[in-house]
Structure 1
Amino acid sequence: MEKDYVYSFDQPFEEININVEKDITLNALLFKTNTTSKGLILYFHGNAGAIHEWGTRASLYTENKFDILFVDYRGYGKSDSFYEEESELYNDAQKVYDYAKTRYDEKNIIVLGFSLGTGFAAYTAAKNRPKLLILEAPYYAWNDFIASIAPVPKMLINYEIPSYKFLKEVTCPIQIFHGTHDFLIKPEENSKRLEALYPEKIKHTMIKGAGHNGIYITKQYYDELKNLLERY
């Protein structure tokens, strides 16, 4: 995507460039609720597409009184550079979280990850103190299932991204959503294994009939999310 690409959405937004290293910035979009905000949801998206597409689902969260920040990883959308080391993924996740804390009290931040982004979200929640971690279609560890996943950027193939290790350090509540018909990141091999490791801190909700990319368009997810965010 060209740097001069102009975003267009049905609701107001702010485009932000977050500096993560010298001469490297990540492009992000902040959408604000039209009522009194309860805080921020920091959204780590999946492998496919960039935030010009992910941003179209912002209303799911702003309608529930939360602002939401979508960020593109290196090599995605208008973000700079590419990843050469796994440690750079974690550095970037922390820098984005640090930016979020300059605008919101940490006690009002929720971290959310979908698919690829669940590992980044788990790491971020482990190293900080958000009030809630939401994982949608999470993997046990990236390298555990990489052989069976759809094509991904070469830069990510050899990374471990061990979500199961990160979740051990998470102190906030964890909510997992996973589709019953997710044949890409299979719940039995991933989210249910995570739940079994940490049953005291994880609530696991299966979204009936949903495939890997179909969780957020179901009525069940809409209702579950609404009920969840009302509590926070």
Structure 2
Amino acid sequence: MKINFRKIGRRLLRFISFIIILILCGYIFLYIKQERFFFNPKILDKNYSYSFDQPFEEVNIAVEDDINLNALLFKTDSISKGLIVYFHGNAGAIHEWGERAYLYTENKFDVLFVDYRGYGKSDSFYEEESELYNDAQKIYDYALTRYDEKDIIVLGYSIGTGFASYTAANNNPKLLILEAPYYAWNEFIANIAPVPKALINYEIPSYKFLGEVDCPIRVFHGSKDFLIKPEEHSKRLKKLYPNKIELTLIKGAGHNGIYLSKQYYDELKELLDRY
């Protein structure tokens, strides 16, 4: 039987060309619609009614004309030591994130959870990186209308650590807490997905922001976080700013389980007792 190598070659070339076109189309789609990949919101009806086992106040924070961010302010039963401004992760909405409020209210701090654009009952959606920073500052400005800056702590979790770092760099809170932070968002995405860094519109360079932070910085990171690996992110940040950052690895914790750990609870209590 005679093998037609030319025919086989043409078929192979067409197959390779198809794969290349498919990859290029994927890159183009990601470049145009990457916000849909980075942000994974739970959308709530505007009439949704929040319910928690502790007192809270629902507020809306204006960040641009006709754009408001929905927020929940939880109050401690004790005499408040101040406010924790909480920048949450990339999934869900504050009807879920608010379940963590007890971690802070039990330690005599009020806590403000805010949904980003497109999350929960918040308006609009992000189209560029500058909008993230605008909103972070507007959230902090709102906090300043209700609390003295000397009594404000900024806390960020996962994607929120970049916004928290930016906020602390451009203001003067008394403490910055980062949970599962990344060195830079574009680098993190490029390392976990086959995407050229140049195609990622959002840099969110936490390592740059932290250089401008004047307050103490406490970092918590799960020792078994296989998404944002501590070796590639928190430990690099600690090495970059050894005299600024206090790093605590939560033993056995993954990316989503830090706050469930007794070690975290005890470490957090000891930290907030000092402030």
Classify the TM-score, shorter chain.
over 0.9
Partner of 1:154: none
Partner of 1:185: 228
- Equivalent residue in structure 2 for 1:81, among 111, 124, 135: 124
Partner of 2:172: 129
Compute the TM-score of the two structures, normalised by the length of structure 1: 0.96
Local SS of the residue matching 1:169 = coil
Runs of 4+ aligned residues of structure 1 deviating over 4 Å after TM superposition are none
Unaligned runs of at least 5 residues, structure 2: 1-43, 194-199
Partner of 2:91: 48
Matched, 1:100 2:127: no
**CA-CA distance at 1:48 after TM superposition:** 1.2
Measure, in 2, the Cα distance between the counterparts of 1:50 and 1:141: 23
Compute the TM-score of the two structures, normalised by the length of structure 2: 0.81
Instruction: Show the 5 A alignment for 1:106-185.
Output: 106-149=149-192, 158-185=201-228
Cα 1:149/1:64, change in 2 over 3 Å? farther
Kindly name which structure, 1 or 2, has the bigger radius of gyration based on alpha carbons. 2
**CA-CA distance at 1:8 after TM superposition:** 0.5
Local SS of the residue matching 1:145 = helix
> What amino acid sits opposite 1:208 in the alignment?
K
**CA-CA distance at 1:85 after TM superposition:** 1.3
Matched, 1:228 2:271: yes
Question: Are the equivalent residues in 2 in contact too, given 1:149–1:185 (CA < 8 A)?
Answer: no
Question: Are the equivalent residues in 1 in contact too, given 2:128–2:201 (CA < 8 A)?
Answer: no
**CA-CA distance at 1:149 after TM superposition:** 5.0
Measure, in 2, the Cα distance between the counterparts of 1:183 and 1:148: 12
What count of residue pairs does the alignment treat as equivalent?
A: 227
> What amino acid sits opposite 1:93 in the alignment?
A
**CA-CA distance at 1:5 after TM superposition:** 0.5
Matched, 1:17 2:71: no
Partner of 2:254: 211
Identity of aligned residues (%): 81
- Equivalent residue in structure 2 for 1:4, among 23, 34, 47: 47
